[in-house]
Amino acid sequence: MVTTCVAGLFVGAILAIQINLQLKDFGAQSFLGGLSTSTTIRNLGPVLIAFLLAGRVGAFSSAELGTMAITDQLNAIRCLGLNPLSVIIMPRLVALTISSFLLLVLGLGLTVFGGIIISSVSLKVNPLQFISHIPQFVSGVSIFIGVLKSFLFGIIIGTISCFVGYQTTGGAEEVGKAVRRTAVVTLVSIIVTDFLVSFVVESISQLLMG
């Protein structure tokens, strides 16, 4: 939670600073609120926060399940006549997906505040002016895309960390490798999914508009 809040605030602030640099050259700083919020919600916000969650939640879950696998805890569950997939993995997968999604949405909300704070404190943009331009650039579709990506990233983080952790065999070294594999596969999957969603939504928009 703390990680997500801090990340959300700073991601919003960073993007506001970067976009302000471009807008300043054209004297269009009044559009800062709309443009930075739109970019944050649609693209970079979900991706950057998902990266942090993948590192924190995904790696933790993968290491925990990997340790359970190599210390025979999962086998012990099997030997009690239970299926670890249904009693350990599925509940964890659902919980991870839902919590990652909620944290991502919270983080996205905080990116807007991060943008407002840095704009008013450092960039000398009136907070009211910042907020007033948001509806011009941030449509319902933008919010939907941000939320959809958050949902998909939540599924990716939950699924990959559980799957890779569950498949771990061997010793402590293999747990380390499982965590590394989780991090790499999750990050690449997030980037690819981000691209695919953006591409598909853009294509649909083009079709509808013209």
Partner 1 sequence: MLELKAISKTFGNRAVLRSVSLTLNRGQICFVLGRSGVGKSVLLKTIVGLIPQDSGEVWIQSEKTDPQNEEQMVSVRQKCGLVFQMPALLDSLTLQENLEFGLKPEKLARLGKYLDWVQLSRERLSRYPAEVSFGTQKKASVVRTLLREPQFILFDEPTTGLDPVSRQVTNQMIRNVVKESHSGCIVVSHDVQSAIELASTIILLDQGQVIFQGTPESFCSSEQPLARAFCNGMVLLDH
Which DSSP symbol is given to 98?
H
φ, ψ at 169 (rounded to 5°): -135, 160
- Give Cβ neighbours of residue 32 (< 8 Å, ≥ 6 apart): 16, 19, 20, 23, 115, 119, 123, 125, 130, 133
For the segment 110-149, give every residue that binds partner 1 (CB under 8 A).
none
Binding segment for partner 1 (CB under 8 A), chosen from 24-32, 72-80, 165-173, 190-198, is 72-80
Nearest CA among 135, 2, 158, 162 for reference residue 69: 162
Q: Rule CB under 8 A: is residue 171 a binding residue for partner 1?
A: no
Listing DSSP states for 125-180 in one string gives --HHHHHHTHHHH--HHHHHHHHHHHHHHHHHHHHHHHHHHHT--SSHHHHHHHHH
Among 83, 139, 203, 205, binds partner 1 (CB under 8 A): 83
76 or 204: whose CB is closer to partner 1? 76
Q: Which CB atom, from 78 or from 180, has the smaller least distance to partner 1?
A: 78
Q: Which of 20, 22, 14 is nearest to 47 (CA)?
A: 14
95 contacts partner 1 (rule: CB under 8 A): no
Which residues in the 11-50 window bind partner 1 by CB under 8 A?
Answer: none
> Which letter, b or e, does each residue of 24-49 get, where b requires 16 or more Cβ atoms within 10 Å of its Cβ?
eeeeebebbbbbbbbbbbbbbbbbbb
**Does 169 contact partner 1 by CB under 8 A?**
no
Which lies closer to partner 1 via its Cβ, residue 44 or residue 70?
Answer: 70
- Choose, by CB under 8 A, the member of 1, 28, 76, 90 that binds partner 1: 76
In the bound state with partner 1, the residue whose beta carbon lies nearer, of 29 and 73, is 73
Q: Does 180 bind partner 1 (CB under 8 A)?
A: no
Q: Copy the structure tokens of residue 66.
A: 């990997």
Please select the residue that binds partner 1; options are 18, 21, 24, 71, rule is CB under 8 A.
71
Q: Is 90 in the site for partner 1 (CB under 8 A)?
A: no
Q: Is 77 in the site for partner 1 (CB under 8 A)?
A: yes
Which one of residues 1, 21, 72, 144 is an interface residue with partner 1 (CB under 8 A)? Answer: 72
Number of residues that bind partner 1 (CB under 8 A): 15
Distance separating alpha carbons of residues 72 and 68, to the nearest angstrom: 6
**Which stretches of the chain bind partner 1, using CB under 8 A?**
67-68, 71-73, 75-83, 87
